[in-house]
Structure 1
Amino acid sequence: MRSHESRFTVCADAIDPCPPLRLDAALEGLAGTFRGMAAHPDEYNCDCHWGSAEELAQLKVADVVLEPDLLRRTWKAVDWEFPGEVLRRILPQLAGELVAGRVEPLFGMEEVGRAFARGRWQAWPDEQAAAVREFLCAWWAHTLTDPRAAVPAYEVLACCAEASGTLTPWLAAWAAQTGPVADRRLAEAVDRWAYDLLGDELPWDAWEGEDELCAELTGWLVRHAPARLRSQGAPEELLHRVRLLGLTGEARWEDPHWPGYRY
């Protein structure tokens, strides 16, 4: 289990004037930082449910491009003996696949974030941790500014929150990025999250601290979402969902605009 106190601090320049260039540089930074790294020589995983000995051997050789299915099984596995080394081995390729939208978890992108967290990357040497941190920051900035971003903001947020153990810097960056793309991403997210949040549930499966994360996300939306949704011409129904998030108990359920959700 992770500590509730995260060591993650968002990059001071999280809102970059050229997010695409920043993201390219961050991906190059990962490739350079983790070039030559491989899984621990003693690493093992059961060949009856994870994969073959030949596939495991590929993880112990640096810089060999993995087949998509092998990459997927590697980041999803929760029982590595040396998860940090495994994460270092696959990070450059995994990051590229994430940005391209070619990583499709069974339940949600929070699964990928937990793969980062299992590797305990924030405790790595400074240069390595900084490369991971910069990738996450750059990917988030790209998501909020590029209309061609392949992964929805609500999925990237879940991934980054689980990877870093905190929501705060990602929401701060979203608050600071007020362009039309960021506002549109917010409208999409509210539409996606409303059912869960109105039931006081976090819209993704958090590793820990779910109640606290839910309260933080709800409070942030109540403060920041209404004006930005109006700027996007969001339907009144969606605006009422956000307003209802600011109410509790019977005041929420008995409001004339309560959508009739059953939990």
Structure 2
Amino acid sequence: MSGWEAAKARMYDVFGHVPRPERVAGCPHCVEPGEERCLLSWPVASVEAGSLARYAAKALTTWGGVLEFRYFLPRLLECATADAFSYPDPEIVLGKLASADWRAWPEEERDAVTDFLCEWWDQTLRHHPARSPIDTVLCALAATGMDLTSCLDAWSGLDTDASIRHLHDFVMTGWSGRRLTNAFWNRDSPAHEQALTWLTGGPAAAAVEAAFARESREDLLELLTAIHTVITPRSPG
């Protein structure tokens, strides 16, 4: 079993103790009576992504509370990280973890969620193209309120073709005018500051220079040069 599959299985196991709700109450103006039946008629792992998407968009705001959210969480995260929802975006779904104050949950639950999210990041770095763009994944992780240090440190290795290509994508599409362009970034959050500092404060440039020194393939050298040009300010004069 891969690390990704093991982390997913652990999450289902850890949250398996959360009781199945009898119903999921919602705002009467937003949710039809009995609309939750399609969510509660199956084991949580078997709920169809298309049925779950509407709940994913409304969870914790106009449909259900934290208990129901914890019951559906393994399937919500599985679908969001697989880009199985046309809407809501992964950044919205993962942002609900912060709304649910997940870092105050029992340690076993926090660890299971953290392991799963870190495996999602590692899985993304290892494959290019990935199911979700790298700026979507990083912004979604930031939306949970988690510390991005380990994620950015892992990216700094630039030890695979995929990680280099992801960084090129990131600076070309997720970065403009010295700012992160994904509209879901909370620009007042510590995670936003972490990402910005990593990209502009020297660590990313040092990683690119180290990768350039050991790389010999022309296509990757071109990508590294393009990245360095974008993230390294020109000297005046």
Q: TM-score range by the shorter chain?
A: 0.7 to 0.9
Residue 88 (structure 1) aligns with: 70
CA deviations over 1:4-36 (Å, ceiling 9, x no partner): xxxxxxxxxxxxxxxx70000011111111225
- 1:28 matched to 2:17? The reply is no
- TM (norm. structure 1) is 0.70
Q: Which amino acid aligns with 2:114?
A: R
**1:224 equivalent in structure 2:** 207
Q: TM-score, normalised by structure 2?
A: 0.77
Identity of aligned residues (%): 22
Could you tell me how far apart the structure 1 residues matched to 2:69 and 2:155 are?
A: 27
Q: How does 1:244-259 map to 2 (within 5 A)?
A: 244=233
Residues of 1 paired with 2:87 and 2:211: CA distance?
Answer: 30
1:243 maps onto 2:232 in alignment: yes
From 79, 86, 92, the equivalent of 1:97 is 79
Label 1:152 to 1:164 Cα distance change in 2 as closer, same or farther (>3 A): same
1:209 is the counterpart of 2:192: no
Q: How many residues align?
A: 225
What is the alpha-carbon distance in structure 2 between the residues aligned to residue 201 and residue 186 of structure 1? 13
SS of aligned partner of 2:230: helix
AA aligned opposite 2:12: A
2:33 equivalent in structure 1: 53
Give 5+ residue unaligned stretches, structure 1.
1-19, 256-263
For the 8 Å contact 1:153–1:185, the answer to whether it is kept is: yes
Q: Indicate how the Cα distance of structure 1 residues 27 and 237 shifts in structure 2: closer, same or farther if over 3 A, else same.
A: closer
Q: Secondary structure of 2:229's match?
A: helix
- State how far apart, in whole Å, the 1-side matches of 2:119 and 2:140 are: 13
Distance 1:156 1:123, change over 3 A: same
The letter of the residue matching 1:114 is G
Q: Name which of 43, 65, 68 aligns with 1:63.
A: 43
Q: Which residue in the other structure is 2:179 paired with?
A: 200
**Structure with bigger RCO (C-alpha 8 Å, 6+ apart):** 1
* Cα distance, 1:62–1:33 mapped onto 2, change above 3 Å: farther
Relative distance call for 1:170 and 1:214 in structure 2 (3 A) is: closer
Contact 1:225 1:242 in 2 (8 A): no
The residue number in structure 2 matching 1:10 is none
- Equivalent pair of 2:49/2:79 in contact (CA under 8 Å): no
Question: How far apart, in 2, do the equivalents of 1:93 and 1:46 lie?
Answer: 23
The 1:53/1:139 distance shift into structure 2, 3 A limit, reads same
Q: Which of 143-152 and 59-68 deviates more?
A: 59-68
User: 1:184 maps to which residue?
Assistant: 165
Q: 1:70 to 1:52 in 2, by over 3 A?
A: farther
- Across the aligned residues of Structure 1 and Structure 2, the Cα RMSD in angstroms comes to 3.2
Among candidates 124, 131, 155, match of residue 136 of structure 2: 155
Contact 1:45 1:80 in 2 (8 A): yes
Per-residue CA distance 1:205-237 (angstroms, 9 max, x = gap)? 234427634532432433334554784221755
The separation in 2 between residues aligned to 1:42 and 1:123, in whole angstroms, is 25
Instruction: Give the match's secondary structure for 1:240.
Output: helix
**Match of 1:12?**
none
